Amino acid sequence: MSACLPGEPSGPGGAAMAELKSLSGDAYLALSHGYAAAAAAVGLAYGAARGPETARGYGAPGPGGDLPAEPAPRAPAAAAESSGEQSGDDDDAFEQRRRRRGPGGAADGRRRPREQRSLRLSINARERRRMHDLNDALDGLRAVIPYAHSPSVRKLSKIATLLLARNYILMQAQALDEMRRLVAYLNQGQGLAAPVAAAPLTPFGQAAVYPFSAGAALPCPDKCAAFSGTPSALCKHCNGKP
């Protein structure tokens, strides 16, 4: 599904982000099917031409610590493996930083410089790995959020991913709630009112109205079993109707 609209603002930048942030659950929920269209409406990046992934990559020069940079971007795994190399073997740079911070700068001030440095490098590597894991998780989240996945479409930013995911969850929760209400309504028509009073709470704090009898344990050969594994009052097999 592509929501690229010609002429729409590109890039989840400032105004677009503000709109995304202010997009209430209700507003989002209004677009049950075409989330992409909705996202386009808030000016998300769905047509932006930044390119698939920026050429940055994990191995991108680590500027933070005025350490020697890697000449070319590397694969995440490779970058994660090579902490020492990533941080550079430049003792001068390290010493410069150390001197600049002064003796009180490092928490491990009693260590000898060399072990101090190797400790620092290993801490850096761990932190890098942690951030890579975080980014992997974000990628996994992007993969399941309905938006335009395409090489020509810019990747959602981290904040946009989180906000979008939140709204998507809210939307799904509401859809589920509506469906339950509908099923309960249908059951009432058959004299099988759902046990609302005893309904458990969902993670969303709403009373879950399960139209399915929890008593019967036998699997249903019909589709209802495939749906939830629980016998359905709507199902002729579960309901004892021929």
Partner DNA sequence: TAGGCCATCTGGTCCT
Partner DNA sequence: AGGACCAGATGGCCTA
* Residues of the shown chain interacting with DNA in the complex, contacts defined by CB under 7 A: 10-14, 17, 48-51, 54-67, 69, 79, 83, 86-87, 94, 97, 101, 104-107, 120, 122-128, 130-132, 135, 155, 157-160
**Least CB distance to DNA at residue 17 (A):** 5
Burial environment of residue 186 by CB neighbours within 10 A (0 to 12, 13 to 18, 19 or more): middle
**Least CB distance to DNA at residue 100 (A):** 9
Rounded to the nearest 10°, the torsion over CA 225, 228, 231, 235 is -70
Give residue 40's Cα distance to chain centre.
19
Q: Could you tell me the sign of the dihedral formed by the alpha carbons of 207, 213, 216, 219, in that order? A: negative
Question: Can you tell me the distance from the alpha carbon of 147 to that of 155, in angstroms, rounded to the nearest whole number?
Answer: 10
Residue 86 vs 187, nearer CB to DNA: 86
Can you count the helices (H) and strands (E) in the chain? 9, 0
Residue 116 vs 206, nearer CB to DNA: 116
Enter the tokens of residue 103: 């003796």
Enter the tokens of residue 187: 């059951």
| Other beta carbons less than 10 A from residue 58's beta carbon | 19
**Least CB distance to DNA at residue 166 (A):** 16
Q: Which residue is associated with the tokens 């458990």? A: 200
Residue 52 vs 229, nearer CB to DNA: 52
**Least CB distance to DNA at residue 83 (A):** 7
Residue 97 vs 149, nearer CB to DNA: 97
Residue 100 vs 241, nearer CB to DNA: 100
Residue 69 vs 196, nearer CB to DNA: 69
**Least CB distance to DNA at residue 27 (A):** 19
**Least CB distance to DNA at residue 177 (A):** 30
CB 142 within 8 A of CB 156: yes
